[in-house]
Structure 1
Amino acid sequence: MVEKYHDESLKIFSLNGNVPLAEKIAKEFGTKLGKCAIKKFSDGEIAISIEESVRGAHIYIIQSTNQPVNDYYMELMIMIDAMKRASAKTINVVLPYYAYARQDRTAKPHEPITAKLIANMLVEAGATRVLTLDLHAVQVQGFFDIPVDNLFTIPLFANYYQNKGMEGDDYVVVSPKNSGVGRSRSLAEYLNTTLAIVDQDESLEDGGYVIGDVAGKTCIMVDDILNTGHTFAEAARLLKEEGATNVYACCSHALLSPPAREVLNDAPIEDICVTDSCLTDETRHPDKLTYITCSKLMGEAVKRIHENTPMSPLFKLSEEKYL
């Protein structure tokens, strides 16, 4: 049983994005979530009221911005404003999944940089710090004028596969697209495997090709966002064509937008390991899905932020109590 955290100035609140994860994080402190009420008017307008005193408190608002993305961001902005007007000392936003992080640059003329817009909105609303998990693009940290801590999921996945004995020469870590090589290289170093890349190209007759030797090996694909499942499914098909014996996959944020369930159930993938950073209805889950929790990692990060202690131990696999 987790002992109650004795600093009463720390208060944890959850919005509707991922209440189960917020409850797990609060449990790490031996406490319960703060009291607030969220309702919608008939036209969709959101209203929030805080039902306990937060004056002078250090507030941590947990909100994952999975679907419906815009509603959950609006909840968050309103909650930050409510905390500011209620005289909270600090307002720390915990975003297990930072939606819009994929829009981090102008790829074509006249495109917005929406990741920067969201950062501006959070700061202007009154957030004093942001804690997030596995940003799609790490440079999004630089879009903020307040401190941002970006935790990584790779140690969680490394621990998962090591516990299954999946490491060494018989395995190869694969980036299912050429933009995710850094993430895959990190997992390969943990598991002491080689690295391969799937370069998916719709203009090619076979849909792409594999860079690296995967014949006769078990492949572990790694990505940050699992949306419709097509990237994993196509990469798995190409890996099997190149002689891979089995294909596994892991991903930080399981959005599982339709038709992900059908696409992944039909794909030659043995197991898909994801964190609970996003909350999705079970009817959208493929049969091969395995959840691991990021609550201990994020809970420890909240504690270290509150106590002004170093965050660096959270980036090391050796710190098993956080996995």
Structure 2
Amino acid sequence: MEIKIFAGSTGKEFAERMCKYLGTDLGKSKVLTFTEGNTYVKAEETVRDKDVYLVQSIGLHPNNEFTEILFWMDAFKRASAHSVTVVMPYFSYAKGDKKDEPRVSIRGRVCADCIELAGADRVVTMDLHSPQIQGFFKIPVDHLFALPILCEYVKTLNIEDLIVVSPDSGFAKEARSYARYLNAPVAIGDKERVDHSENANVIDIVGDVQGKNALIVDDFSISGGTLIDVARALKEKGAKKIYAALSHIVLNEKGVKKIEDSPIELLISTDSVNNPFVKDSDKIKIVSVAPLFAETIARIDRKESVSPLFNEVPSKVFNNI
């Protein structure tokens, strides 16, 4: 079968980086938004009997991006594609992973059901809010991790006396994985969230950060508030320089300004979300995970195992970042 990569309206830059790694051309396509808000998608070349990969995150415009994915799945299936894989570097609705209060929707499950019903045969994604969300899908899910990419970049900074900091107990397990990779100790923030305002209160830091350079790690940030609160708490506890690493960066313009005015020296994240607000910031460094996704697709096509990519990035992937 022949691989063919197409991009949704917000996935083009990421898809082009993937195609560069794979040495192939991006599929020709068209996306229109009519004046009343309706979305129109069209593949402008044949996909009959091809293995199609649609690149689109559910990120800054989640409702539009999610709906567009559904239309693309239907279009490719009706055009007799052999298989259709959703390459979704960031799945925003994964935050809706449980029924933790009365009369609410488990939004991640609803999205998973819809993507399957629209015709997806497989999903490739990265750093879901919780790994059990893979179970929302009945189709195969390749769940990649930004950790090796981010850690390899952190190593190039040669930070001495490094300590990895989780903003709360919920991310402590992942923070320990960062710490093992970087051969550093761990501290954990004691955070309290009381509502849906996207703000949380950092009550304390558990661990000795006195005289150390701290790396705050988390899966994503919407407002930047928690990162900044943790950074301030670390400063109060005697930490020296503060860095941060995120799998996904969904900050808006206001959030970027807050980071720039904060004690954080550098925020490192990936290009999993096409975020125009972060591109001109001197405090934010974006490293590309497109080569990681491209290598994953290549291994799927060759029917090879993807799991080695979970813990170690091949040098050719990191060299193409």
C-alpha contact (below 8 Å) 2:189/2:202 kept by paired residues: no
* Cα gap change, 1:307 to 1:154, in 2 (>3 Å): same
CA deviation string 1:268-323 (max 9, x = no partner): 01100000110112478643000101011110001111111011221233632222
C-alpha contact (below 8 Å) 2:202/2:230 kept by paired residues: no
1:1-323 alignment to 2 at 5 Å? 9-166=2-159, 170-201=161-192, 207-282=202-277, 286-317=281-312, 319-323=314-318
Question: What is the distance in 1 between the residues matched to 2:262 and 2:311?
Answer: 32
Partner AA of 2:288 in structure 1: T
SS of the residue corresponding to residue 101 of structure 1 reads: helix
CA deviation string 1:127-185 (max 9, x = no partner): 00000011111111000010000000111111111122236xx1100001221111111
- TM-score (normalised: structure 1): 0.93
Q: CA deviation at 1:18?
A: 2.5
* Cα gap change, 1:307 to 1:207, in 2 (>3 Å): closer
SS of the residue corresponding to residue 4 of structure 2 reads: strand
Question: What is the distance in 2 between the residues matched to 1:237 and 1:79?
Answer: 44
Question: What is the distance in 2 between the residues matched to 1:202 and 1:97?
Answer: 23
RMSD of aligned Cα (Å): 1.6
SS of the residue corresponding to residue 244 of structure 2 reads: strand
Question: What is the distance in 2 between the residues matched to 1:90 and 1:202?
Answer: 42
Question: What is the distance in 2 between the residues matched to 1:63 and 1:281?
Answer: 16
Question: What is the distance in 1 between the residues matched to 2:51 and 2:154?
Answer: 37
C-alpha contact (below 8 Å) 1:62/1:93 kept by paired residues: yes
CA deviation string 1:9-36 (max 9, x = no partner): 1100001123111100011111111011
Partner AA of 1:229 in structure 2: G
Partner AA of 1:175 in structure 2: S
Question: What is the distance in 1 between the residues matched to 2:9 and 2:41?
Answer: 11
CA deviation string 1:97-124 (max 9, x = no partner): 0111011001111111000000000000
* Cα gap change, 1:285 to 1:115, in 2 (>3 Å): farther
Could you say which residue in structure 1 is the equivalent of 2:197? none
* Cα gap change, 1:305 to 1:202, in 2 (>3 Å): closer
140-149 or 15-24, which deviates more:
15-24
Q: Tell me how many residue pairs correspond in the alignment.
A: 312
Misfit runs of 4+, over 6 Å: none
Partner AA of 1:291 in structure 2: I
* Cα gap change, 1:99 to 1:202, in 2 (>3 Å): closer
C-alpha contact (below 8 Å) 2:221/2:249 kept by paired residues: yes
Partner AA of 2:121 in structure 1: T
Gaps of 5+ in 2: 195-200
- TM-score (normalised: structure 2): 0.93
Question: What is the distance in 2 between the residues matched to 1:221 and 1:207?
Answer: 13
Question: What is the distance in 2 between the residues matched to 1:85 and 1:11?
Answer: 16
